[in-house]
Structure 1
Amino acid sequence: MPETAHLTSAARIREAALHQQRTPPRRAAPPPRKRGQGPLLRGLLKTARPKQWIKNILVIAAPAAAGRLFSTHAAVQLALVFTLFTACAAAVYLINDARDADADRAHPTKRHRPVAAGQVPVPVACAVGGVLGLLAPAAAAWLTSPLVAALLTAYLGMQLAYCVSLKHVLVIDLAVVTTGFLMRAAVGGLALGIPLSRWFLITTGFGALFMVSAKRYSEAVQMEGRAGATRALLTEYTAGYLRFVWQLAAGVAVVGYCLWAVEEGGVPHTGLLPWRQLSMVAFILGILRYAVFADRGIAGEPEEVVLRDRALAVIGVVWLAMYGMAVANC
């Protein structure tokens, strides 16, 4: 018996040794890494949506329409207004993402946003957004004019109301987004004290409504049957209604631009050709070309549509050249 027990113990030892050789040693878990400032700052920047900043170039629209771009004072003021409007927009994005963090975590795409993914803590996003929202209008009142500060304050209030409730109200959601574009176009004129033409405001407002409703229509077409998965209000709109809106807006924008181009005042014509009036052709072609993508249901972000389609980009350059010739009285 003792000998048998000894053999059994030896067999167990050999089996344990073989098992240890087959099983690789378990590595110790690395210590948790502390959240550094680098990832946090990158997350804040990403939440501020740098791709959307191109929309703020609209601040030069009114000065360009009046031929008031070519001075140091105008360049400094417009650069300042662009920066302040970008800060306001970033504040809205930060607060919106902080508010929607829980819902975004359940979304297949939005869950990668820095706030939803945990890269930027919700309190930090709220704090940075609040600071930007307070500083931008205050800086505008100090460095530009009270009218610019009032417009930025109104923009912040309107956009925050949109994030909380207005984005769930039919038609009002389209009006709010359109008004945001119109405010961008008007703020440059307010900063330089330029009177804003009624036809300029009509063209800008309905041009923005055209692009906004075309984007909504495209979303409705692409997400038909599952629209609530991306934007809950799309379940309330019909594709036919959104098509009606972008077609109506395109027509009013064209009429407004034509009336603005031929009205008395603004940029006087003393050049060889009536470039301002001729620019109507390029403008209408641009609307028609953009409508192709809207009709197909593939009109996404306006800047992406323009940059993706070479013909539309060329039409835009031609329009800019024509209007530049009108401003220079060539």
Structure 2
Amino acid sequence: MSSLARTAYAVLRTTRPRQWTKNVLVIAAPLAAGVVWDGSTILAVLGTFVAFTLAASSIYLFNDVIDAEDDRRHPRKRLRPVAAGQLTPAVAIFASAVCAGLALSLGWLIDPDLAATLAVYVVIQVLYALWLKEQPVIDLSIVAAGFLLRAIAGGVAVDVPLSQWFLLVASFGSLFMVAGKRYSELRSVGAAARTRRTLEVYSESYLRFVWSLAAAITITAYSLWAFEISDGSGINWQAVSIAPFVMGLLRYAVDVDRGLAGEPEEAVLRDPVLQIIGLLWLTIFAIGVYSS
């Protein structure tokens, strides 16, 4: 393999392709709003997915340069290309800038408001990498905001209104995943996880309280939302969807409690039962939205 190919492969690894699945959240708002999936809508959502993938990749590249020293003391993160010396910081920063530029340009072509959403995401994530990740509670909020902005971006791209219930479910659902991620990190690698400075402050009981509280609020908000968007005639499919939604959260919480949800996307991908529950929920919810 040539030097250029090795560098390109190292850049690709640093962008963490497995985590690109998070960007599927851009479909959430259009789906919840029951938009018509014509050609222009599909292109806008796909473009938003690509734009957010580029924006997130930019942050991963930047973050790995900032965190290189800490990553070298971590049992898994020490294998990341920058920490392992396979990718120079200069190349990583250049690739980060290119990805950010492409993300904002694509976002602008789709909708200027989408470009603004992407810009907010990039700015707060850069601030997180430089400073905010060391601030307890703030760090949880910033990472959760990254998930929330993905959900908002899809709505912005196709110009659909975002209900208060949608925002509540997306916000606290994101906090549930982030607090569960931190809890799993603390459980799974113990002292080694304390290369993340906020984990020197958090205790298992505190993080358990946060993800339990976030899960409870998410379920409550989703249930209220499900009854609100029902048209009151025929089968209330939105209400029926509450059951698989709660089952999915409880199933995912099993991995959180066992310390196996340090990477949310991996926890979902390795659990076929959770995937089936998720597909069942999505099917029932979509029937409710599009049949009303």
TM-based fold match above 0.5: yes
Larger Rg: 1
Whole-Å Cα distance in 1 between the matches of residues 123 and 171 of structure 2? Answer: 19
Q: How far did residue 122 of structure 1 move?
A: 1.4
1:176 aligns with 2:138: no
Letter in 2 for 1:197: S
Whole-Å Cα distance in 2 between the matches of residues 108 and 306 of structure 1? Answer: 22
Letter in 1 for 2:208: R
Task: Give the aligned CA root-mean-square deviation in angstroms.
Answer: 2.0
* Pick aligned residue for 1:242 from 179, 184, 207: 207
Q: How far did residue 69 of structure 1 move?
A: 5.1
Q: Which moved more, 1:98-107 or 1:147-156?
A: 98-107
Whole-Å Cα distance in 2 between the matches of residues 276 and 99 of structure 1? Answer: 44
1:81 aligns with 2:85: no
TM-score (norm 2): 0.93
Q: How far did residue 245 of structure 1 move?
A: 0.3
The 3 A distance-change label for structure 1 pair 268 and 38 is farther
Partner of 1:6: none
Q: Is the 8 A contact 1:77 1:144 kept in 2?
A: yes
Partner of 1:255: 220
1:16-35 correspondence runs (5 A): none
* Pick aligned residue for 1:190 from 156, 173, 185: 156
Unpaired segments ≥5 residues, structure 2: none
TM-score (norm 1): 0.83
1:217 aligns with 2:179: no
Whole-Å Cα distance in 1 between the matches of residues 112 and 267 of structure 2? Answer: 36
Whole-Å Cα distance in 1 between the matches of residues 190 and 135 of structure 2? Answer: 20
* Pick aligned residue for 1:293 from 245, 255, 263: 255
The SS at the match of 2:241 is helix
Unpaired segments ≥5 residues, structure 1: 1-32
Whole-Å Cα distance in 1 between the matches of residues 69 and 146 of structure 2? Answer: 26
* Pick aligned residue for 1:159 from 125, 130, 143: 125
The SS at the match of 2:83 is helix
Q: How far did residue 226 of structure 1 move?
A: 4.8
The SS at the match of 2:262 is coil
The SS at the match of 1:177 is helix
1:42 aligns with 2:15: no
Q: Is the 8 A contact 1:269 1:326 kept in 2?
A: no
Q: Is the 8 A contact 2:73 2:192 kept in 1?
A: no
Q: How many residues of Structure 1 are paired with residues of Structure 2 in the alignment?
A: 292
Q: How far did residue 77 of structure 1 move?
A: 0.3
Partner of 1:329: 291
The SS at the match of 2:261 is coil
Whole-Å Cα distance in 2 between the matches of residues 128 and 320 of structure 1? Answer: 36
Note the alpha carbon deviations across 1:39-63, whole angstroms, 9 max, x for none. 1111111111100100000000000
1:61 aligns with 2:38: no
Structure 1 ranges of 4+ moved more than 4 A: 267-270
1:198-209 correspondence runs (5 A): 198-209=164-175
Whole-Å Cα distance in 1 between the matches of residues 92 and 267 of structure 2? Answer: 30
The 3 A distance-change label for structure 1 pair 327 and 200 is same
Q: Is the 8 A contact 2:132 2:139 kept in 1?
A: yes
Q: Which moved more, 1:49-58 or 1:117-126?
A: 117-126
The SS at the match of 1:245 is helix
Q: Is the 8 A contact 2:28 2:154 kept in 1?
A: yes
Partner of 2:198: 233
The 3 A distance-change label for structure 1 pair 40 and 211 is same
1:93 aligns with 2:60: yes
Structure number with the bigger relative contact order (C-alpha 8 A, sep ≥ 6) is: 2
Letter in 2 for 1:52: Q
Share of identical aligned residues, percent?
45
Q: How far did residue 166 of structure 1 move?
A: 0.7
The 3 A distance-change label for structure 1 pair 69 and 293 is farther
Q: How far did residue 269 of structure 1 move?
A: 6.4
Whole-Å Cα distance in 2 between the matches of residues 43 and 114 of structure 1? Answer: 6
* Pick aligned residue for 1:128 from 66, 79, 95: 95
